[in-house]
A and B are shown apart, each in its own frame.
Chain A
Amino acid sequence: MPNAGSSFLAAVWAILRKECRSEWRTRYGLNAAVLFAVTSLTGVSFAVGRLTDRSDVLAALLWVVLLFAALASLSHAFVREVEGRTLTLLRLVASPTEIALGKLLFNLVFLTVLEAVTVPLFLILMGAPGPRWGAFLALLASGSFALATSATLVGALISQTRGRGALFAGVSLPLLLPVLAAAVAGTRNQWAGGSAAVEVRMLMAYAAATLGASLLLYDHLWED
Chain B
Amino acid sequence: MSALRETSVGVVGTEAVRVTARALAHRYGPQRGLEPLSFEVVAPAVVAVTGPNGVGKSTLLKIVAGLLEPSRGEATLAVGGRSVLAAERRRCVGYAGPELSFYPELGVTENLTFAAMTRGLPAPAVRVRESLDRVGLSRHGTERVAALSSGMMQRLRIAFALLHRPPLLLLDEPGNHLDDEGRVALRAIVAEEGRAGLVLLATNDEREWRLAERRIELSGRGLGHSA
**For B104, what are the chain A residues with a Cβ–Cβ distance below 8 Å?**
84
- A162 within 8 Å of B (CB atoms): no
Q: Is the interface of B mostly helix, strand, loop or mixed?
A: loop
The contact of B106 among A2, A25, A92, A223, by CB within 8 Å, is A25
Q: Are B99 and A88 in contact (CB under 8 A)?
A: yes
A161 in the interface (beta carbon within 8 A): no
Assign chain A's interface to a size class.
Answer: 20 to 34
Cα-based distance from A84 to B97 in the complex (angstroms): 15
Contact of B4 with A by CB under 8 A: no
A-side binding surface: helix, strand, loop or mixed? helix
Complex CA–CA separation, A94 to B118 (angstroms): 6
Question: For residue B86, which residue of chain A has the nearest CB?
Answer: A223
Q: Does A6 contact B (CB under 8 A)?
A: yes
Complexed CA–CA distance, A111 and B106 (Å): 23
The residue that B101 contacts in the complex, of A6, A7, A17, A86, with Cβ under 8 A, is A86
Q: Within the complex, which residue of B93, B105, B160 is in contact with A89, where a contact is CB–CB below 8 Å?
A: B160
Residue of A nearest to B122 (CB): A2
- Let me know if A91 is at the binding interface, CB within 8 A: yes
Query: A84 touching B101 by the CB < 8 A rule?
Result: yes
CB of B115 within 8 A of CB of A21, answer no
The reply to whether the CB of A209 lies closer than 8 angstroms to some CB of chain B is no
CA distance A22 to B118 in the complex (A): 15
B33 to chain A, nearest CB (A): 12
Sampled A-B contacts (8; CB under 8 Å): A10-B117, A11-B118, A18-B106, A21-B105, A21-B110, A25-B106, A86-B103, A92-B115
Residue numbers of B with Cβ under 8 A of A are 65, 67-69, 87, 90, 93, 95, 97, 99-106, 110, 114-115, 117-120, 122, 160
7 closest residue pairs by CB, A with B: A14-B117, A7-B120, A85-B101, A14-B118, A25-B105, A93-B118, A10-B120
